[in-house]
A and B are shown apart, each in its own frame.
Chain A
Amino acid sequence: MNRMLWRKSLNAVMLGLTGFCTLLVASVLFVILGYLAWNGASHLSWNFFTKLPAPVGELGGGMANAILGSGKMLLLAVSIGVPIGFLAGVYLSEYGHGTFPFLVRYATDLMNGVPSIVIGIFAWAIVVRPMHHFSTLAGGVALGVMMIPIALRTTEEFLHNVPHALREGAMALGASKARAVFTVVVPAAKDGIMSGMMLDLARVAGETAPLLFTALGNRFWSQGWLEPTASLPVMIYSYAIAPYEDWNQQAWAAGFVLLSMVLIVNIVARSIMARASSRLRH
């Protein structure tokens, strides 16, 4: 009888604890969001989105150039990361048996695990050093390289999930393998692939470390692709560790903007992905 009571109470306690753990972990998200909204949203202003940074001690500065800089680098990152990742994903999914594909997969996993700071010094070595200056291009390259592994994985996975029947049906109709893949299989997986790319983009949008010695920073508008540029994550970092209260407040505002964008993209992408996965499984 006693033993039974012990076991039952242990059951209740442990299960209660797991619920508590879940609550704790989930609540962290709300604390983060809440704190950022509280501190950041209140300091958002028209100036923030449209003005350049002001000299130290002067109020009214903004992060317009950082927003544009981040936008440009992400554009470049997408143009590097998405095509290469997508095409390589197609390769692995459709032609992928043997040592070479195995090596490619291994290399991708390796790259995925590399800390972003190491990618940063790599981009510095191949772009900044030969060109002898910091640039938007270097930052975009660093972010692009970071996008490749996940773009590849996403493509490969969703293509893999497309039922073979579709492929075989297309080929039975006389389509070549390439045509079957690109006109039938890929469109079938397109929702999943696109949402995966969006998640990938959201991830690199928040990266700071690789930009520190590739894009450096800029107090003005950065023109073209070959000049240093400000970016949202780097501004958050520099402004957060500064002693100026105005800068700290701007860091909160920027953090709020960045997080909101990242989370919105994540939520949208995941909903598309969930829909895509469930559709394919039927």
Chain B
Amino acid sequence: MASAPASLEVSAGRSLGSRVHAGDAVAYSITLISAGSILLVTVMLVYFLWTGSELTRHKFGFEFIVTQVWDPVVEQYGALPFIFGTVVTAGLALLISVPLGVGAAIFLAELAPRRLSSSMTFLIELLAAVPSVIYGLLGIFLLVPVMRTYLVPALKAVLGSLPIFSGPFYGPSILSASVVLSIMIVPFIVSVSREVLLVVPTDQREASLALGATTWETTWKVVVPYARRGIFGSIFLALARALGETMAVTMVIGNTPKLQSSLLAPGHTIAALIASEFAEATSATYLQALTEMGLVLFALTIILNGLAQLLLLTTGSRVKA
């Protein structure tokens, strides 16, 4: 203990003070530059999306967002079918995955013994690591045929009269894409919701049980509402992820830029559109229209991420976004 400060003072040449400053300054600048470069790259990204779509933004204005027609041949571009497809597939995916995900989270947080809960969560979190293209592969060869042979006929038998389930089912469709998406985002909902539920103070539960509530009543009426904000945050995050999914969607959605009322019809999303047409855009306007679609998607993602962050922050939990 006494020798350490002594050895530091006994250094030939320069004084302790200047050595300290030099090292600090270098470290500070290097880390600062790295941090700054991130800011720079983000600014460049936004700049590129904004200027790369200048032509079409001026040409079509806000109507771009509500125009139905996407016809590169006559250079008429409208984002509506893709915004529709993106929002509907993401929304439907949430509709499927939220009950499943929150249900699983409840089980894992409230009911399962600790070790079972940890190992199951580990497995479910591994699902989040599966690459999108693999989901797409399984979508084409496993999910779509199963849906075509079993699920959709059953669905049509029961709900076929509804306009959203009308028309023939080819296989690639909005419904198929939604189902694949829901499988992809469920792990996020489970993981985050479980963490948020675990953080709810035990006395809340105990108080409820002491008043005679059943476990389910405690969970549903006390614990979940307490963690409500965090759960909503996880939903927003899953939504943001679903909006940007590209490969799995493009492999099972049918890639048709048409607005249709039936979920069984093929459709398109913004991400799938860019992926399938960017390399082939044969005119400046076409390319700019696609860049503008990228801008729209980017804007959607920012808004949703912002909302999610807001919600997660206000829960006061240490949950990682």
Contacts and interface: CB of A to CB of B under 8 A. Distances in A.
A101 B246 CA distance: 31
B82 to A, nearest CB: 12
Interface string A77-121: 000000111111011101100001101100111111111111111
A22 B5 CA distance: 58
A24 B100 contact: yes
Q: Chain B interface mostly helix, strand, loop or mixed? A: helix
Q: Which of B135, B240, B274, B304 is most buried by chain A, counting CB atoms within 10 A of its CB? A: B274
Given A15-B215, A110-B42, A258-B131, A213 B251 contact: no
Interface in B24-79: 24, 26-28, 30-39, 41-45, 48-49, 52
Contacts of B107: 15, 18-19, 21-22
Q: Which 8 A-B pairs have the closest CB atoms?
A: A206-B131, A115-B244, A21-B103, A178-B27, A91-B31, A87-B34, A18-B107, A11-B214
B134 A22 contact: no
Interface size class of A (residues with CB under 8 A): 35 or more
A94 to B, nearest CB: 8
Nearest to A84: B34
Interface stretch (A47-55, A60-68, A261-269): A261-269
Counting contact residues on chain B (CB < 8 A from A), the size range is 35 or more
14 contacts: A14-B216, A15-B111, A18-B106, A21-B100, A26-B120, A87-B35, A117-B271, A118-B298, A122-B45, A240-B133, A252-B137, A255-B133, A259-B130, A259-B131
A56 interface: no
B117 to A, nearest CB: 9
A86 B107 CA distance: 36
Contacts of A119: 45
A29 B297 contact: no
A179 interface: yes
Interface of A: 7-8, 10-11, 14-15, 17-22, 24-26, 28-29, 32, 35-36, 39, 83-88, 90-92, 94-95, 100-101, 103-104, 107-122, 124-126, 145, 148-149, 152-153, 157, 173-174, 176-179, 181-182, 199, 202-203, 205-209, 212-213, 216, 233, 236-237, 240-241, 248, 251-252, 255, 258-259, 262-263, 266-267, 270
Interface stretch (B149-157, B163-171, B182-190, B226-234): B182-190
Nearest to B52: A125
Contacts of B214: 7-8, 10-11
B247 A259 contact: no
Contacts, number: 266
Given A25-B104, A86-B34, 13 more contacts: A15-B215, A20-B103, A25-B101, A87-B33, A95-B31, A111-B42, A115-B246, A118-B298, A121-B291, A199-B129, A209-B271, A240-B136, A270-B122
A74 B15 CA distance: 44
B292 to A, nearest CB: 11
Contact of A84 (B38, B99, B141): B38
A198 to B, nearest CB: 11
B244 A88 contact: no
A145 B41 contact: yes
A29 B42 contact: no
Nearest to B290: A121
Interface string B1-40: 0001100100000001001110110111011111111110
B264 interface: no
B108 interface: yes
A258 B134 contact: yes
Nearest to A12: B216
Contact of B34 (A88, A182, A233): A88
Interface in B271-301: 271, 274-275, 278-279, 290-291, 294, 297-298, 301
Q: Which of A94, A115, A207 has the most CB of B within 10 A?
A: A115
A78 B24 CA distance: 26
Q: Which of B38, B271, B274 has the most CB of A within 10 A?
A: B38
A20 to B, nearest CB: 8
Given A113-B301, A178-B23, A240-B140, A173 B190 contact: no
A267 B126 contact: yes
B129 A202 contact: yes
A88 B215 CA distance: 46
A109 B237 CA distance: 12
A18 B111 contact: yes
Nearest to B186: A25
A240 B137 contact: yes
A126 B275 contact: no
